[in-house]
Amino acid sequence: MNLARGLLLHIALLVVAVALAAGVWSKDEKPKAAESEQVEVWGGRPDELTSIAYETEKLRVQLEPRKDSKGRWYATTLEKTVEKPLTPPGSDGGALPAPFKADAGPPKTESKRESQRFVSVKEGDKLAEGLAPMMALRQLGKVDDARAEEFGFDKPEGTLRVAFGSRQHSLVLGGTTPGGGDRYAKDPATGNVFAISGDLGRNLQFAESRLLERELHDFKPEDVKRVKITKGALIRELVRVEGKKDGWADPATPDKLDETAGNWMSKLGRLRAQQYIESIGIPVAPEYQIVRVEYFDGKKSLGALDLLRIPDDKSNAGYLAQTEYTRWYAQVLKSSAEQVQQDLSSVIK
């Protein structure tokens, strides 16, 4: 009896040991296997890209890579077809046409083509790095036309086109893979089908929210040690108080917190780009400028921000900010910009 019991105990310990060993082996090997499954669809480097475009029935997105002293950025054009309700005729006492009568059924709409251009920096760079080279999660080979519906190629989501000068590549995006996270894509030149990251398609489909650059600077707030604020002929400098996250002081008394200046700098730091204007269309008169702020890390310049207010009778641009990072003028939220403008007189006199 004791012998049998001891044998069972040893068998149980052996089973546990095998299970633990298998767990350790699978833990070590799964990431390596997933990594090795990736295949190159096409090669290239981000700085070789000359165009990125994505097209669907109602949407077209194109990124034009550009480079300046601050680095790589992307001028992005977005065109889309939207359905808008028909505008009822003016109330002149006459009878409403049939489309606007109460019993005419659902409201009538009309298709309109809208377009906008904006700057993409950080997210545009991530997109470019994911396309040059273009890596797929796995390759499925050629898929018979009879199975097109199975992979979503009977009604493709859209077409991605990438250019490296005269060298061009494209992928037709099909349906989602089981689980819905990734997407099937077909190279029309070879007929090969791949599974690619779903983020690629989503970033292009929702470009106006995912690719539009919101930040006004690429440096971190804590990198700034000194600022120079200019309003017309008035100039004031502030220095950061060591150990205080939002602490600012006059250079003459660097250890004495100026809470008013600190609050104003916090409001300035909350400005974000809402949309972009490549060209205002009118000369920027000096009286339109609210303030100019230059940022320094010690003696080194990090960049500058110009905040403007274009009068409504001159343009509908409203409040605009331009920095070394936005390149173009960026419309900022009116309520946030108004606070910066209203409190400016308490900071610089």
E-assigned strand segments in the chain: 39-42, 51-55, 59-68, 71-85, 109-120, 134-136, 138-142, 158-164, 167-176, 183-186, 192-196, 226-231, 234-240, 248-249, 273-277, 289-297, 300-309, 319-323, 329-332
What is the DSSP-derived secondary structure letter of residue 114? E
- Burial (CB < 10 A; 0-12, 13-18, 19+), residue 128, is buried
| Count of beta carbons in the 10 Å neighbourhood of residue 271 | 22
pLDDT in tens, the chain (349 residues): 444 455 444 444 444 444 444 443 333 323 333 344 789 999 999 999 999 999 999 999 999 999 999 999 999 999 999 888 876 655 455 555 656 555 666 777 888 999 999 999 999 999 999 999 999 999 999 999 899 999 999 999 999 999 999 999 999 999 999 987 899 999 999 999 999 999 999 999 999 999 999 999 999 999 999 999 999 999 999 999 988 888 999 999 999 999 999 999 999 999 999 999 998 888 888 999 999 999 999 889 999 999 999 988 777 779 999 999 999 999 999 999 999 999 999 999 8
Which of 59, 54, 51 minimizes the C-alpha distance to 75?
A: 51
What's the confidence (pLDDT) of residue 94? Answer: 56
* pLDDT tens profile 270-287: 999 999 999 888 888 899
What's the confidence (pLDDT) of residue 84? Answer: 82
C-alpha gyration radius of the chain: 29
What's the confidence (pLDDT) of residue 101? Answer: 58
Write the DSSP assignment of 47-102 as a string of letters.
GG--EEEEE-SSEEEEEEEEEETTEEEEEEEEEEEEEEEPPPPP-SSSPPPGGGST
